[in-house]
Chains A and B, each alone.
Chain A
Amino acid sequence: MKPDGKWRLDSISIRSFRGVAGQQSLSFGGGSALLYGNNGVGKSTMALALQWTLFGRFPSGVLPNVGFKGFLGPVGGSKGASCGEVVFRRAGQTLTIRRDERAGKFLVKIGTKVFEGEEAECERDTLLGVDMDAFVRTVLLHQSRVRGLLLDEVKDRNHAIDMLLGVDAAQDLHDVLKVKAFLDAADGWRAAAESEQRRHDAQGELLKRQHESAVAQARESGFLNKDLNWSALRAHYEKLVADVHVLASRHEAPLSTLVAPASSIEAQRFATKVSKELNQIRSKAQSQVLLVQEGRRAEEIRSLLAEWDQRLNDRDEAGKLIVAGKAEFATLGGPERALEEADVKVERQEQLLTDLGQMHKLLTDARSALAVQREKTCPVCAQPVDVSRLDKDLESRIRSLSSGEVAEGRRLLATLKENRISLKAKLEKLADQEEHLRLAQNQMVKLRGQVATLIGVNTISESKVRQRLLENARRSSERCESLEKSVGFLADEIEGIASRAAELDGSLLAVILKREEMSRHAREEESIKRDHAASEKTATAMEGLGARVERIRLALLDAKEELASGRLKRARPRSLELYERLVRHPKFSSFDITTTARAKKVDYNFEVSVDGNRSTAREAKLVLSDGQITATAVGIFVGLAESAAHDLDLLFIDDPTQNLDLPCKEAMAKLMVEMAGRKQIVVSTHDEDFVSYLREHGFDKNALMFHIESWNGDPKIVSESKVF
Chain B
Amino acid sequence: MSELSEAVETRLLAEKDQGETVTLWRRVWACYEQGGAEAVEELMGSLLVLPEERA
List chain B residues, Cβ under 8 A from A562: 7
Which one of A30-38, A148-156, A183-191, A238-246 contacts B? A183-191
Contact B37 A551 (CB under 8 A): no
Chain A 38-77 interface 0/1 with B at a Cβ cutoff of 8 Å (1 = within): 0000000000000000000100100000000000000000
Nearest-neighbour CB distance to chain A for B38, whole angstroms, equals 8
Which residues of A (525-563) have their CB < 8 Å from a CB of B?
A: 531, 535, 538, 541-542, 544-545, 548-549, 551-552, 555-556, 558-560, 562-563
What DSSP secondary structure best describes chain B's contact surface?
helix
CA–CA, A247 and B42, complex, Å: 76
Q: Given that A181-B48, A182-B48, A535-B54 are known contacts, is A552 also in contact with B12, CB under 8 Å in the complex?
A: yes
Q: Given that A188-B50, A552-B24 are known contacts, is A176 also in contact with B7, CB under 8 Å in the complex?
A: no
Contact A555 B11 (CB under 8 A): yes
CA–CA, A172 and B39, complex, Å: 12
Q: Which residue of chain B has its CB nearest to the CB of A56? A: B34
Q: Name the contact of A133 in the complex, choosing from B4, B8, B28 (C-beta under 8 A).
A: B4
Contact A560 B44 (CB under 8 A): no
Q: Given that A175-B37, A177-B28, A559-B11 are known contacts, is A169 also in contact with B4, CB under 8 Å in the complex?
A: yes
Contact A185 B40 (CB under 8 A): no
Nearest-neighbour CB distance to chain B for A171, whole angstroms, equals 10
Q: Name the contact of A552 in the complex, choosing from B25, B41, B47, B50 (C-beta under 8 A).
A: B25
List chain A residues, Cβ under 8 A from B49: 185, 189, 538, 541-542
List chain B residues, Cβ under 8 A from A555: 7-8, 11-12, 25
In this assembly, does A614 line the interface, its C-beta being within 8 Å of a C-beta of chain B?
no
Contact A192 B37 (CB under 8 A): no
In this assembly, does A406 line the interface, its C-beta being within 8 Å of a C-beta of chain B?
no
- Chain B: number of interface residues, binned into ranges: 20 to 34
Contact A191 B51 (CB under 8 A): yes
Nearest-neighbour CB distance to chain B for A353, whole angstroms, equals 126
CA–CA, A551 and B15, complex, Å: 10
Nearest-neighbour CB distance to chain B for A149, whole angstroms, equals 21
In this assembly, does A178 line the interface, its C-beta being within 8 Å of a C-beta of chain B?
yes
Contact A173 B7 (CB under 8 A): no
Nearest-neighbour CB distance to chain A for B35, whole angstroms, equals 8
Q: Given that A172-B37, A178-B44 are known contacts, is A185 also in contact with B4, CB under 8 Å in the complex?
A: no
What DSSP secondary structure best describes chain A's contact surface?
helix
List chain B residues, Cβ under 8 A from A178: 44
List chain B residues, Cβ under 8 A from A558: 11
Nearest-neighbour CB distance to chain B for A176, whole angstroms, equals 5
List chain B residues, Cβ under 8 A from A134: 2-3
Nearest-neighbour CB distance to chain A for B31, whole angstroms, equals 10
CA–CA, A177 and B28, complex, Å: 9
Contact B54 A192 (CB under 8 A): yes
List chain A residues, Cβ under 8 A from B51: 185, 188-189, 191-192, 535
Residue in A175, A551, A555 with the greatest tally of chain B CB atoms within 10 Å: A555
Contact A560 B4 (CB under 8 A): yes
Contact B18 A551 (CB under 8 A): yes
Contact B4 A170 (CB under 8 A): yes
In this assembly, does A131 line the interface, its C-beta being within 8 Å of a C-beta of chain B?
yes
Q: Name the contact of A176 in the complex, choosing from B12, B40, B47 (C-beta under 8 A).
A: B40
List chain A residues, Cβ under 8 A from B48: 181-182, 185, 542, 545
List chain A residues, Cβ under 8 A from B8: 170, 552, 555-556, 559
CA–CA, A192 and B51, complex, Å: 7
CA–CA, A185 and B20, complex, Å: 19
Chain B 1-26 interface 0/1 with A at a Cβ cutoff of 8 Å (1 = within): 11110011001100100101100110
Q: Which residue of chain A has its CB nearest to the CB of B12? A: A555
Q: Name the contact of B20 in the complex, choosing from A132, A169, A548 (C-beta under 8 A).
A: A548
CA–CA, A548 and B12, complex, Å: 10
Q: Name the contact of A551 in the complex, choosing from B2, B21, B40, B41 (C-beta under 8 A).
A: B21
Q: Which residue of chain A has its CB nearest to the CB of B49? A: A538
List chain A residues, Cβ under 8 A from B33: 132
Q: Name the contact of A167 in the complex, choosing from B4, B11, B18, B21 (C-beta under 8 A).
A: B4
CA–CA, A596 and B50, complex, Å: 36
Q: Which residue of chain A has its CB nearest to the CB of B13? A: A555
List chain A residues, Cβ under 8 A from B54: 189, 192, 531, 535
Nearest-neighbour CB distance to chain B for A558, whole angstroms, equals 6
Which residues of A (320-360) have their CB < 8 Å from a CB of B?
A: none
Chain A 98-129 interface 0/1 with B at a Cβ cutoff of 8 Å (1 = within): 00000000000000000000000000000000
Known: A176-B44, A548-B24, A556-B4. 11 other contacts (CB 8 A): A131-B2, A177-B40, A181-B44, A185-B50, A188-B50, A189-B49, A189-B51, A551-B21, A555-B7, A555-B11, A563-B4
8 pairs of residues in contact across A and B, judged by CB atoms under 8 Å: A131-B2, A131-B3, A173-B28, A176-B37, A176-B44, A188-B51, A551-B12, A560-B4
* Top-9 shortest CB links A-B: A559-B7, A188-B51, A555-B11, A548-B21, A192-B51, A131-B2, A555-B8, A172-B37, A176-B37
